[in-house]
């Protein structure tokens, strides 16, 4: 019998994502000036206010308030009407030095013996149902909001959009786990109060609100959706039928949004950041953490493994788990689950042992393999850390001492299919 599966995404202007982006901008600036920086920073955003807190061990000094303001302005919170904008909001920093008790478990005389920055388990997932080996419902949810943000910045086809938005896509699957059609799309977007009532009467206000909602509904279906569909592969385009149930701004007008409408915190969108509820999640957030924190580096490394296993043809779907003890380099466990889709005559336990021999999962080797001690994290902080396209680009950072650093970096290295041949060789594929 067919079944439904749903994933959601949130825009870069969502309060929690604002917090993630500020935290990761701080990580990038610290790493740009000191590659050995140890950082764990959290951000809170609310009406007219940003609070930064966390622990840092670094040889550089940064204007963290200005970094936060720059991120907020870049997202699009630039108007006083939003009750939160980068130029006028207060920014309070409560960042302090990292505990030596934690640091002693990470730093070692021999870098290869670097211990894990914390205990915990991390998961990586991949499936062959999309070209980037991501779950389809999450991929479409991200695409809806990325395109909506592009339309907002163009300020051409739709002129009333504000930065805050959420999406959700429900897919119908067949018994053998193949996507059949899109069952429902939910999209809520913040917007200007762009149709004013004729008077302040309840009837006129309700009429103005209804007219706004009709316009938003029309524009999402006739401008946003076609732009998203246009850039999809043909077999995914076919899933967009006239049987989709749309819920567009289902609660009504959405003028009050962003941090004025809802407080945002770093690390509250970990399912949006990963696989949309497919596979599993160890519970640790990514943003605001340097790569010595295995919550981040371990999750990236397991995604790298999972994607290369599926791309090599070892299986159609896979979940990879790794776990660590704080201060210990060698993982306490590595486990591979192929959901019965393996193409080799081996148990998942046997597959796990071979995978362990291919990928060194000690923290130092993850950092080196995936080039994680570089300022690449701001790009990860909205629209998912997984399923993105690797890119080589030049980035520039400045600090209050007048120093400027320009560096060529590789982004999303954990998405590279650079171990496919090694996997094929190890499994005789």
209 and 326 together in one domain: no
244 and 301 together in one domain: no
What's residue 109's pLDDT? Answer: 64
304 and 365 together in one domain: yes
Annotated binding residue 166: yes
Annotated binding residue 98: yes
C-beta of residue 224 within 8 angstroms of C-beta of residue 148? yes
**Angle, nearest 10°, between helix axes 348-358 and 420-427?**
130
Confidence band of 398 (pLDDT split at 50, 70, 90): very high
295 and 252 together in one domain: no
Confidence check: pLDDT of 270 > 90: yes
Confidence band of 9 (pLDDT split at 50, 70, 90): very high
In a domain, 241, yes or no: yes
Task: Outline where DSSP puts E strands in 143-258.
Answer: 161-173, 179-191, 245-248
Confidence band of 103 (pLDDT split at 50, 70, 90): low
In sequence order, which residues have a C-beta less than 8 Å from that of residue 38 and are 6 or more positions away?
Answer: 55, 56, 57, 58, 98, 103, 106, 117, 290, 292
Confidence check: pLDDT of 98 > 80: no
What's residue 195's pLDDT? Answer: 95
Confidence check: pLDDT of 106 > 90: no
Annotated binding residue 289: yes
Confidence check: pLDDT of 105 > 70: no
320-334 tens-digit pLDDT: 999 999 999 999 999
Q: Which CATH number goes with the domain that contains 144?
A: 3.30.300.10
Average pLDDT over residues 133-142: 98
In a domain, 42, yes or no: no
In a domain, 303, yes or no: yes
What's residue 126's pLDDT? Answer: 98
319 and 233 together in one domain: no
43-75 tens-digit pLDDT: 999 999 999 999 999 999 999 999 999 999 999
What's residue 40's pLDDT? Answer: 95
In a domain, 410, yes or no: yes
Average pLDDT over residues 8-34: 98
Mean pLDDT rounded to a whole number for the chain: 95
Q: Domain end: 235, 257, 279, which one?
A: 257
Least confident piece of the model among 96-110, 242-256, 298-312, 343-357: 96-110
Least confident piece of the model among 94-108, 180-194, 329-343, 397-411: 94-108
Confidence check: pLDDT of 248 > 60: yes
Annotated binding residue 42: yes
229 and 301 together in one domain: no
Average pLDDT over residues 106-115: 70
What's residue 111's pLDDT? Answer: 76
229 and 172 together in one domain: yes
Q: Domain end: 203, 237, 257, which one?
A: 257
250 and 307 together in one domain: no
Give the integer Cα–Cα distance in Å for 325 and 330.
Answer: 8
217 and 317 together in one domain: no
In a domain, 210, yes or no: yes
416 and 322 together in one domain: yes
Q: What are phi and psi of 114, to 5 degrees?
A: -50, 125
Annotated binding residue 269: yes
In a domain, 376, yes or no: yes
Structure tokens that stand for 49 in this block:
């206010």
Structural domains of the chain, count: 2
Confidence band of 123 (pLDDT split at 50, 70, 90): very high
Annotated binding residue 342: no
Annotated binding residue 16: yes
Q: Domain end: 202, 234, 257, which one?
A: 257
- Boundaries of domain holding 218: 3-7+136-257
What's residue 117's pLDDT? Answer: 79
Confidence check: pLDDT of 255 > 60: yes
Confidence band of 97 (pLDDT split at 50, 70, 90): confident
β-pairing verdict for 49-57 and 90-97: parallel
Half-sphere exposure of 317 (CA within 13 A, CB side): 15
Give the integer Cα–Cα distance in Å for 166 and 17.
Answer: 11
413 and 366 together in one domain: yes
236 and 351 together in one domain: no
Average pLDDT over residues 190-214: 95
Annotated binding residue 68: no
266: closest CA among 34, 30, 43, 420? 43
Average pLDDT over residues 274-301: 96
What's residue 116's pLDDT? Answer: 87
386: closest CA among 235, 266, 265, 271? 271
335-364 tens-digit pLDDT: 999 999 999 999 999 999 999 999 999 999
What's residue 378's pLDDT? Answer: 98
In a domain, 418, yes or no: yes
In a domain, 33, yes or no: no
| Percent share of the chain, pLDDT over 70 | 97
Least confident piece of the model among 14-23, 112-121, 238-247, 251-260: 112-121
């Amino acid at each position: 019998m067919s079944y439904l599966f749903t994933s959601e995404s949130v825009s870069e202007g969502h309060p929690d994502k604002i917090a993630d982006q500020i935290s990761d901008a701080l990580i990038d600036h610290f790493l740009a000036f000191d590659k050995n920086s140890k950082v764990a920073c959290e951000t809170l955003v609310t009406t007219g206010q940003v609070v930064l807190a966390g622990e840092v061990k670094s040889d550089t000094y940064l204007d963290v308030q200005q970094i936060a303001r720059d991120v907020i302005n870049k997202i699009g919170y630039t108007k006083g009407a939003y009750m939160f904008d980068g130029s006028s909001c207060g920014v309070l920093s409560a960042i302090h030095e990292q505990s030596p008790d934690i640091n002693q478990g990470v730093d070692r005389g021999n870098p290869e013996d670097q211990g894990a920055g914390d205990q915990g388990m991390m998961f990586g997932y991949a499936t062959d149902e999309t070209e980037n080996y991501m779950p389809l419902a999450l991929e479409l949810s991200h695409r809806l909001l990325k395109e909506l943000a592009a339309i907002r910045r163009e300020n051409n086809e739709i002129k009333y959009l504000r930065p805050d938005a959420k999406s959700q896509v429900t897919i119908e699957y067949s018994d053998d786990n193949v996507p059949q059609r899109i069952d429902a799309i939910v999209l809520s977007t913040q917007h200007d109060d762009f149709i004013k009532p004729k008077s302040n009467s309840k009837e006129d206000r309700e009429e103005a609100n209804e007219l706004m909602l009709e316009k938003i509904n029309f524009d999402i279906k006739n401008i946003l959706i076609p732009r998203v569909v246009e850039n999809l592969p043909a077999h995914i385009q076919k899933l967009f039928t006239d049987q989709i149930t749309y819920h567009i701004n289902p609660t009504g007008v959405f003028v009050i949004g962003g941090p004025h409408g809802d407080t945002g915190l770093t690390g509250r969108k970990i399912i949006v950041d990963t696989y949309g509820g497919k596979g599993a999640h160890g519970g640790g957030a990514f943003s605001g953490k340097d790569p010595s924190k295995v919550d981040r580096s371990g999750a990236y490394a397991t995604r790298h493994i999972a994607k290369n296993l599926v791309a090599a043809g070892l299986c159609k779907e896979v979940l990879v788990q790794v776990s660590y003890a704080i201060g210990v380099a060698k993982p306490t466990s590595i486990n591979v689950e192929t959901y019965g889709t393996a193409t080799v005559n081996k148990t998942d336990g046997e597959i796990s042992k071979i995978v362990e021999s291919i990928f060194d999962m000690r923290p130092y080797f993850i950092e080196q393999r995936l080039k994680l001690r570089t300022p690449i994290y701001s790009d990860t902080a909205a629209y998912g850390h997984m399923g993105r396209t690797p890119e080589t680009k030049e980035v520039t950072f400045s600090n209050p001492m007048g120093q400027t650093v320009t560096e060529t970096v590789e982004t999303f290295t954990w998405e590279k299919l650079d171990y496919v041949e090694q996997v094929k060789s190890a499994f005789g594929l």
